[in-house]
Every structure is written in C-alpha cells, then in structure tokens.
C-alpha cells in the first residue's frame, strides 16, 4: 500500500512537469536523499508540500492518506486552469491553516516522519526505522508589487502648454490666413527664356586657320555671365523704372498690402531690393540658358516688363559687341600701320645694299661666277684634246706643242683663281669680301619677307574687323517669348501658410523643450 508521502510526491512530479512545459522553465524538481524536499533553485509548489507535511504530522500512514486525498483531488483542477503558476501559491497558506488543526501543532524535531527514511511506530514503508526528526522546508519568498498607476489628469503646466500652442501656433496661422486670403493682392507671373548665341555662318576670319576667328568671335558663355549679373544690377532697374514706372505700379496696394507692395517714396536701393522679389532669375552656366519670372499686379504689365528686360539685355549685348569690334578695328589698323612701316624699311634697306655694292642679286652674280668656272673647264678639256692630237702628228720640239702646253697652263691657273673668287671673293667696295656681302644680302631678304607676311596678316585682320563691324556676331535669342498670364498664381497662399505653420510649430516645440529641460534640471 502506498503511503501519503509517496502519493503527494507523485502528484508533485506530474504537476511540475506540466508547469515546466507551459512556462518553459528548465530543470526538473527532484527530491533530496529521502525524496521529500526539492532541489535548490527549482520551483516550489506549496500544495504538495503542505500535503506532505500534513501526512508527516499524522500518527500513522493510514491516518495521513485521508488528509492528502483532498489536495490530490484539487491539484488537476489547478493544473488545468489558465492561471499562471505565480498566482497559485496564494491559496496554499489557507490549506495549511485548514489542515493544521487536524494534525495538531507541529514541533521541530518531534513527531512522526513518513517516507522511506521515516522512524517511529507510525511510519510505514520499506525503510521505516524508529523515531526521527522531521525536516521543515523554508517559507516562500514574498514579492512586493508596486500599486497600479491612477488615471492621469490635466495639471497647470499642461494648460500652460495648451495656451502657449494657441498663442504661438494657432493665432499666427489664423492671422496669416486672414491676411493671405483677405488682404494680399493677386499677382500675375510672366515667364521668358533666352540665351546668347553666336552667328552660325563662316567668315573670312574662319578661313585663315590661324585662330583669328576665335580672336574676333569672343565667347558666348562670358556674355551670358555678364548678362546674368546685369539683369540683377541697379542699371537694369533704373532703365526698366524709366520705361514702366515701377514705383507707381507696385505701390498701388499700399498701405493695405504692406508685405507684397512697395512704399511710394522708395529709393533706388530699396527698389533694387524689391526687384529681387518680383524678378526671379534662373541661369544654367553649362548651357548658357537664362529664364526669368516677372511678377506684377496685372497680366499686361508683367508681360511688358519681361519684354523690356529682353530688349535691354539685347542692347547690353550689342553694346558689348560694338565696343569689342571698335577695339579690334582700332588694333587692326594700328597693326597694319606698323607692318607697312616695317615692310618699307626692309625694302629700303635692300635697295641701299644694291646701290652700294652694285650687285642686284648676289645669287645671280654667284651663278655667273660659277658659269665662268664651268666655261674655263670646258676650254681646258678642249685644249687637252688638241694637245693630244698634236703630239700624235709631231714631236715635242714642235712650237705648236709648246704653245698648246702654255694655253693649258693658263686655263688651269684661271680656273684656280675663279674658284678662289667664288669661295672667298675678291676685294670690292669698302674692303668687304664677297661672303660678307652675301650674308648681309640674305639678312635683308629675310627681313623683307617677314615684313611682307606681317603686312598681309595685318591687312587680313583689318578686313575681318571691318567685316564684323558691319554685322552682328553675337545676338540674344529668346527661346520662350514673354508670356501673357490669364490667372493669378501668386502669392501661393497654401504654400506660404504651410511654411508659416512649420516655422511657428518648430519655434513652439523648441520653447517647450527648453521649458521642460529647465524644469527637470531643478
């Protein structure tokens, strides 16, 4: 027959396996040496322990079984319930108090012990031996849980945040919306786009092949850069103001619309500042495209101002081109004069040389001297032939042979002299030899040829400058004509209202964070 302690231990083991499988708690509860106490660190179950203690306090195993049976019967219901294991030990102290009067007061070290190692007359089992001391388990730990938070309520600082949000966010938005939709004046936008172009046809400067075409053509990119700065300059504002009376048009809504209008007595500097608001310039430096957006209080004025900006820009480009062409024409004329004077000096020096040396052309004179040498060599060859013929017909003592030998000797001497004259020359005018005169002549010829080339280049440059002065090489081409708007697109009320809301919201958030940071630091 099984004892109550063994029955309680079996129920504790099965219940502990179920709890471990539901809550993923590692380890298994095991008994100590006598099979009654769980290991250290394992979950302790109060119901089985209470039942085992009740059984141990009974006078006999038979008396302990009825007290353990209720706990065993209640255990399956507790294991099947969905209540977590942490909530189950709450009823265990009641079971102890209910079972305590039946078993009597418990004394430490006295009383019967049930189990394999129990001693005393009331112990049953294979290992029952006399009396023994009962082993008492430590009381369960009590975990204190903080009380649940109560419902939050509005405090004074919360009402302060609400009031500050109304003052810094809602009020500015309402005022801005009222001004944008009830006070501000509608504006019309005219768009115009243009660029600086270079003429596509070829000119005589492009046919030279020496860079004169690029020199006189200029650069369209630099002209676009200049034009971009000119549109935003005070000079442009002054010219447009003289043509369209900017103050009179943009001061019409004053003083009702103080944000989008300008005051009537604005100075030129203030008008330049207002110009940046009504004229937006977009410039692409890579392609040289310039696009303008002109705002005005009526559509025709916006289109007229856009047309005026295009015309003034065209006049600016023409003025730059005219000034460049005038400078190039003046420089070309001066270069031509210098080249002409240099050519005259070179030719005059050559004429003086010929007059002084009596040599028209040293090259021709040299060829004549070489012709004399060649003629003497031909005569020498003929004389040698005559001598050979004469020796075949007569002896050495013949006077004709002596005469032939004398002629050959004279021709040889003359050839030597003429060659020396060609190589070193003979003394001529002023003690100068022929090679010195020849070197001087070559230098004069080079100077004359260089002066002639420079004169031709200067003359061509002058022709190119005159040709460019008669036509327009740079011009402003509008790829988008000034448009005539049909509806007012500005001011963009919803965009402005959204930006205002964003900024006031950021300001309010920063102020709230500053307030709470100061409050928490105290």
Which has the minimum average pLDDT: 75-84, 217-226, 286-295, 327-336? Answer: 75-84
Between 472 and 95, where is the model more confident?
472
Question: What is the reported pLDDT for 175?
Answer: 93
| Cross-sheet strand order for the sheet of 279-284 | 279-284, 289-296, 188-198, 474-480
Token pair of 338 as six digits: 């210098």
**pTM score of the predicted model:** 0.52
In the predicted structure, residue 49 carries a pLDDT above the cut 50 = no
Which residues, in sequence order, are bridge partners of residue 38? 31
In the predicted structure, residue 145 carries a pLDDT above the cut 70 = yes
Do residues 133 and 464 lie in contact, with contact meaning Cβ atoms separated by under 8 Å?
Answer: no
Question: What is the reported pLDDT for 413?
Answer: 87
Chain length of the chain: 522
Between 254 and 15, where is the model more confident?
254
Question: What is the reported pLDDT for 505?
Answer: 93
For 59, residues 6+ apart whose C-beta sits below 8 A from its C-beta are 112, 122
Question: What is the reported pLDDT for 521?
Answer: 86
For range 463-486, the mean pLDDT: 82
Percent of the chain with pLDDT over 70: 66
Which has the minimum average pLDDT: 163-167, 269-273, 369-373, 492-496? Answer: 369-373
Question: What is the reported pLDDT for 310?
Answer: 92
Percent of the chain with pLDDT over 90: 25
For range 4-9, the mean pLDDT: 54
Question: What is the reported pLDDT for 12?
Answer: 55
Most confident of 108-117, 306-315, 366-375: 306-315
Between 79 and 440, where is the model more confident?
440
204-238 pLDDT, tens per residue? 444 444 444 444 444 555 788 888 999 999 999 99
Do residues 246 and 271 lie in contact, with contact meaning Cβ atoms separated by under 8 Å?
Answer: yes
Question: What is the reported pLDDT for 468?
Answer: 72
In the predicted structure, residue 122 carries a pLDDT above the cut 70 = no
Most confident of 35-39, 72-76, 137-141, 151-155: 137-141
Do residues 261 and 254 lie in contact, with contact meaning Cβ atoms separated by under 8 Å?
Answer: yes
Q: ∠ CA(234), CA(237), CA(241), 5° rounding?
A: 140
Terminal C-alpha separation, the chain: 74
Residue 211 CA to residue 360 CA, distance in Å, equals 39
Tokens 């103050």, residue?
247
Tell me the pLDDT band of 261, cut-offs 50, 70 and 90.
very high
Between 10 and 380, where is the model more confident?
380
Between 450 and 50, where is the model more confident?
450
For range 174-188, the mean pLDDT: 92
Q: From the CA atom positions of the chain, what is the Rg in Å?
A: 63
Residue 408 CA to residue 379 CA, distance in Å, equals 9
Furthest CA-CA distance within the chain = 192
In the predicted structure, residue 62 carries a pLDDT above the cut 60 = no
Residue 459 CA to residue 453 CA, distance in Å, equals 10
Between 142 and 202, where is the model more confident?
142
Which has the minimum average pLDDT: 142-151, 299-308, 475-484? Answer: 142-151
Which residues, in sequence order, are bridge partners of residue 26? none
């Amino acid at each position: 027959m099984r004892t109550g302690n063994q029955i309680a231990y079996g129920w504790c083991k099965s219940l502990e396996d179920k709890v471990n499988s539901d809550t993923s708690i590692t380890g298994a509860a095991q008994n100590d040496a006598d099979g009654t106490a769980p290991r250290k660190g394992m979950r302790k179950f109060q119901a089985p322990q209470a039942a085992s203690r009740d059984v141990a306090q009974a006078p006999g195993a038979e008396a302990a079984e009825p007290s353990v049976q209720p706990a065993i019967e209640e255990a399956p219901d507790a294991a099947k319930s969905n209540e977590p294991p942490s909530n189950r030990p709450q009823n265990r102290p009641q079971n102890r108090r209910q079972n305590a009067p039946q078993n009597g007061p418990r004394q430490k070290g006295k009383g019967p012990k049930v189990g394999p190692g129990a001693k005393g007359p009331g112990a049953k089992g294979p290992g029952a031996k006399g009396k023994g001391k009962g082993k008492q388990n430590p009381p369960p730990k009590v975990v204190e849980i903080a009380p649940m938070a109560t419902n939050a309520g509005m405090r004074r600082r919360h009402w302060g945040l609400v009031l500050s949000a109304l003052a810094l966010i809602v009020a500015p938005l309402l005022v801005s919306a009222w001004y944008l939709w009830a006070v501000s004046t509608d504006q019309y936008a005219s768009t115009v786009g243009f660029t600086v172009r270079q003429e596509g046809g070829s000119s005589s400067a492009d046919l030279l092949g020496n860079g004169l075409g690029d020199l006189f053509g200029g650069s369209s990119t630099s002209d676009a850069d200049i034009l971009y700065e000119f549109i935003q300059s005070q000079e442009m504002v002054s010219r447009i103001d003289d043509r369209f009376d900017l103050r009179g048009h943009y001061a019409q809504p004053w003083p009702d619309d103080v944000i989008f209008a300008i005051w009537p007595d604005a100075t030129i500097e203030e008008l330049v500042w207002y110009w940046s608001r009504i004229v937006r310039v977009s410039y692409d430096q890579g392609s040289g495209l310039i696009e303008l957006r002109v705002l005005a209080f009526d559509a025709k004025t916006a289109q007229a101002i856009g047309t005026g900006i295009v015309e003034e820009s065209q006049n600016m480009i023409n003025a730059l081109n005219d000034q460049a062409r005038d400078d190039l024409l003046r420089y070309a004329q001066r270069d031509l004069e210098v080249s002409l004077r240099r050519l005259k000096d070179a030719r005059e020096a050559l004429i003086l040389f010929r007059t002084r040396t009596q040599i028209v052309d040293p090259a021709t004179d040299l060829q004549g001297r070489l012709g004399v040498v060649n003629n003497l060599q031909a005569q020498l060859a003929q004389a040698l032939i005559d001598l050979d013929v004469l020796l075949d017909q007569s002896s050495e003592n013949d006077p004709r042979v002596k005469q032939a030998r004398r002629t050959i000797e004279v021709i040889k001497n003359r050839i030597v002299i003429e060659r020396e004259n060609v190589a070193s020359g003979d003394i001529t005018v002023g003690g100068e030899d022929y090679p010195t005169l020849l070197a001087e002549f070559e230098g004069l010829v080079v100077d004359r040829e260089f002066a002639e080339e420079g004169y031709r280049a200067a003359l061509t440059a002058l022709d190119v400058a005159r040709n460019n002065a008669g036509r327009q090489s740079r011009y402003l081409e509008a790829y988008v004509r000034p448009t005539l708007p049909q509806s007012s697109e500005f001011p963009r009320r919803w965009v402005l209202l959204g930006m205002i809301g964003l900024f006031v919201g950021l300001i309010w958030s920063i102020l709230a964070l500053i307030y709470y940071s100061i409050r928490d630091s105290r």
